[in-house]
Amino acid sequence: MTSNSRVVVLGAGLAGVRLARRLGELGVPALLVGDEEHRPYNRVLLAEVLAGRYSPDVIALPAPAGLVRAKVTGIDRDRRVLACADGSEIAYGTLVLATGSNPVLPPLRGLFTPDHVLPEGVHAFRTMDDCLGLSKAVRPGVRAVVIGGGLLGVSAARALAVRGAQVVLAQQAERLMERQLDPNASRLVLRHLKDLGVEVHTECRVRDVRCLGGAVRSVEMADGYALDADLVVLACGVSPRAGLAKAAGIAVHKGILVDDRLCTSDPHIRAVGDCAQHDGTVYGLAAPALEQADALAASLAGDPDSRYTGTRALTRLTLAGNSAFDLAAFGETEPRPGDDVVQLADATRGTYRKVVVRDDRLVGGVLVGELGTVGALARAWEGAEPLPSDGGPLLHLLTNDGGT
Ligand SMILES: Cc1cc2nc3c(=O)[nH]c(=O)nc-3n(C[C@H](O)[C@H](O)[C@H](O)COP(=O)(O)OP(=O)(O)OC[C@H]3O[C@@H](n4cnc5c(N)ncnc54)[C@H](O)[C@@H]3O)c2cc1C
C-alpha cells in the first residue's frame, strides 16, 4: 500500500483500537499510532485495577498488528504527514484522530509548578500511568482527598477506600453524580460511599492545594478549613484532546467538529471518540466512541451509506467487591411538569428504580442496586417507540423481576 492511500489512526484508546481492528477485519489494514507505554487497555476498567480487583493484563485490549508507539506533535496537512516527538514522520492518505480527552485540572495555584508537573502525591485519573502511580502510593491509613464527585471521583474514592485509605471526597455541587442521577439515586451512592468509610463533603469548593518540599500536604477549602492529605486525586472532568487539530487549522469548537460521515473540515481527516464533537455533542463515554469507530470502519471500507447519527448513551457504573453496587442512568432522570413518573424504592435493600415518561415515550430512567430490567428499559428508550397506552407494560418493564 502506498503511503498516500494509507489509513493512519492516531490514538490507541478504545475508539482507535476498535477502528483499527474492524478495518483489519474488513481488509483495510491501518497503522495505529499511540503514545502510551502500555499495551492498549480498556480505560473504563481502570478503577477496578486501582481497587486491586484486576491486574493491568486483565483489562488489556486485543491490539491490532500495526501498532506504532510515538507521540505525534504536529499535522502537516499539505504534505499529509504527521510529525513525531522523536523527529520521525508518518505519512497518511486518510488520518483518523482518536486522541481522546485530557483531564481538566482545577485552577488551584498550588498545582502549577514552574516545570508543569503535578506536585508529588497529586494525581489525575485518566491513564494506566495515573492508575499505577496511585496504586503505588495508596496504603492502609493513607489520607486521600478526591476532588470531584462525578462518575470518575466516585469510582476513585471507592477504589481507594477498598484499598484501606482514609478518603475524603470534596464535591462542589450539592450532590454526587448530579449530571446523571436524580437526588434519590445520588443519596444511595452517598450511602454506599459512607458505608465504605468515605467522608463526603458536598457544596464544598476546594481553594488550594498546599505543598511542602514539592509534595502535597493539605487541601484547603473555600471556608479556610484545611484537610491533611498524603494523596490528592483530581477528578474534575475531561476536555476533548483537540489541540493538534486546532493547531493544524481544522475546525474545532468544544471538540473536533465532525459530520455524519465523521469527516472533519479537512476531507482527508476524520475524528472519532472523546475528541470529536458530533451534532453539538461531545459524549466522553465509551459506547458512542465504539459506535463511531464501527460506523467509520464501514465507511472507510467503502460503504457509501455508512453514517453515524448519534448515540443514546446510557451511563453505567459497577462498583464491584464485597459490597457490590450497580447503577445505570439514561436520558432525563428529572421529570418536567406534565411528565409521568413510575418509581419503586426499597430503603432496606438500597434499591431504587425510576422511569420518566413524556407523552407516550420513555425519556429517561435511573436504576440503583437492581439492574435486572436495564436491558429492556434501554431498548425501549433507544428505540423511542411509543409505549402501549395502558401503562401496564411500562410497570412490567420496571418490575419484570416481580417488583421485589
Ligand atoms: C477511570 C475512568 C472510568 C471511566 N468509566 C467510564 C464508564 O463507566 N462508562 C463510560 O461510558 N465511559 C467511562 N469512561 C470514559 C471512557 O473511558 C472514554 O469515553 C473512552 O476511553 C473514549 O475513548 P477514546 O478512544 O476516544 O479515547 P481514549 O481512550 O482516551 O484514547 C485516546 C488515546 O490517544 C492517545 N493520544 C492522544 N494524543 C496523542 C498524540 N498526540 N500522539 C499519540 N497518541 C495520542 C492517548 O494517549 C490515548 O491513549 C471512563 C474514563 C476513565 C478515565
Cell numbers that stand for 156 in this block: 476513585
CA of 110 to the centre of ligand 1 (A): 26
User: How far apart (Å, rounded) are the C-alpha atoms in residues 314 and 223?
Assistant: 36
User: Could you identify the residue written with the cell 486485543?
Assistant: 62
For residue 403, the model assigns a pLDDT of 38
User: Could you identify the residue written with the cell 503535578?
Assistant: 118
Pocket probe for ligand 1: among 9, 10, 14, the residue whose CB has the most ligand atoms within 8 Å is: 14
For residue 138, the model assigns a pLDDT of 95
263: DSSP letter: B
For residue 401, the model assigns a pLDDT of 52
Cβ(13) – ligand 1 distance below 6 Å = yes
User: Could you identify the residue written with the cell 407494560?
Assistant: 393
Spatial CA neighbour of 358 closest among 375, 329, 333: 333
Where residue 321 falls among pLDDT bands split at 50, 70, 90? low
8, pLDDT greater than 50:
yes
3-class SS of residue 347: coil
Is pLDDT larger for residue 347 or for residue 106? 106
For residue 402, the model assigns a pLDDT of 41
CA of 14 to the centre of ligand 1 (A): 6
For residue 394, the model assigns a pLDDT of 64
Cβ(219) – ligand 1 distance below 6 Å = no
Where residue 397 falls among pLDDT bands split at 50, 70, 90? low
Query: Ramachandran region of residue 210, left (φ > 0), alpha (ψ -120 to 50) or beta?
Result: beta
Distances (CA, A) of 357 to 124, 204, 229, 328: 38, 34, 45, 17
390, pLDDT greater than 80:
no
Cell numbers that stand for 388 in this block: 402501549
Range with lowest mean pLDDT among 213-217, 231-235, 266-270, 398-402 = 398-402
Residue 167 CA to its chain's centroid (Å): 22
Pocket probe for ligand 1: among 270, 274, 314, the residue whose CB has the most ligand atoms within 8 Å is: 274
User: How far apart (Å, rounded) are the C-alpha atoms in residues 249 and 313?
Assistant: 30
Between 286-300 and 14-25, two packed helices, what is the crossing angle to 10 degrees?
30
CA of 133 to the centre of ligand 1 (A): 18
Helix H or strand E encompassing 127: none
CA of 132 to the centre of ligand 1 (A): 16
Q: Which atom of ligand 1 is nearest to the CA of 101?
A: 30
pLDDT in tens, 249-265: 999 999 999 999 999 99
Helix H or strand E encompassing 296: helix 286-300
323, pLDDT greater than 70:
no
Helices first, then strands: H and E counts in the chain: 9, 25
Is pLDDT larger for residue 384 or for residue 292? 292
Q: How many CB atoms lie within 10 A of CB 105?
A: 15
Q: Which atom of ligand 1 is nearest to the CA of 313?
A: 11
Q: Which atom of ligand 1 is nearest to the CA of 285?
A: 19
For residue 147, the model assigns a pLDDT of 96
Q: What is the rounded average pLDDT of the residues 46-73?
A: 92
> Which one of 129-133, 377-381, 394-398 scores highest in mean pLDDT?
129-133
Cell numbers that stand for 118 in this block: 503535578
Is pLDDT larger for residue 75 or for residue 391? 75
User: How far apart (Å, rounded) are the C-alpha atoms in residues 77 and 93?
Assistant: 10
CA of 356 to the centre of ligand 1 (A): 31
Cβ(291) – ligand 1 distance below 6 Å = no
Q: How many CB atoms lie within 10 A of CB 107?
A: 8
Task: Please provide the average confidence, as pLDDT, over all residues in the chain.
Answer: 91
Share of the chain above pLDDT 70, in %: 94
For residue 176, the model assigns a pLDDT of 96
> Atom 14 in ligand 1: which residue has the minimum CA distance?
44
Cβ(159) – ligand 1 distance below 6 Å = no
CA of 152 to the centre of ligand 1 (A): 12
Cell numbers that stand for 75 in this block: 499535522
173, pLDDT greater than 70:
yes
Where residue 404 falls among pLDDT bands split at 50, 70, 90? very low
